[in-house]
Amino acid sequence: MSIFAPALALPGPLPPGEAVLWRGRPQWHGLALRAFHTRQVAIYFSLLAIWRIASDLATGDAGSTTAISLVWLLVPCGAACGLLLLLAWLSSRSTQYTITSRRVIMQFGIALPMTLNIPFAVIGAAALRAYADGSGDIPIAITGDDRVAYLMLWPHARPWRAARSEPMLRSVKDVERVSEILARAVAGASNATGSVVTLAAENANANGAAVRAQAAAAA
């Protein structure tokens, strides 16, 4: 079975015997912080402002010149952060993640809608990375030859896996509950087919807190 499906395959009817277990979308503020890196952009412009103030103070030129320079920094900073926030919001609004009893379906794309169909049969492993607010990411490793280019998947791709891209349910609310749903569904499919799929947590979340492991393996 191919990992590709016609665009916008849901909310159409599913095949007989297949049921939707969970549907959700990424949280836009999580995308803004961890995919579009708005915090880093704001920090960059803040450092530029601090450097400008320190430079003017060192040369004794602090005053109206410094104020004008800060305004010229504030404008591109506001524009850049505003654009990134808008892209994060649009990305969230145009994305739908679905877990059924047989597969994971990812619908995404702001300008060019795309649907990625991931049957449990091609899932080799999945991981869980949770954050302090209860949201988190679930990257999915795919076996076989079917692959999607990293840039086509982004921001719904596991970071730093460009050569062998992994789709990722990103910034999902209540990620541990979602991971449990996926674990139970994969376990049921594994028991039916005799295959083994591992779902495991990463060592720690972004704030250093331990993440509870999830595992599902066929007996």
Residue 211, pLDDT score: 35
pLDDT exceeds cutoff 70 at 157: yes
pLDDT per residue as tens digits for the range 54-103 = 777 777 666 667 777 777 788 889 999 999 999 999 999 999 999 999 99
Is the backbone peptide bond immediately before 139 cis, with ω within 30 degrees of 0? no
Tell me the mean pLDDT in the region 123-139. 91
Residue 121, pLDDT score: 87
Residue 214, pLDDT score: 38
Tell me the mean pLDDT in the region 145-170. 87
Residue with tokens 């596991």: 158
pLDDT exceeds cutoff 50 at 219: no
Tell me the mean pLDDT in the region 158-164. 86
pTM: 0.78
CA distances from 50 to 41, 76, 77, 197 (A): 14, 16, 14, 51
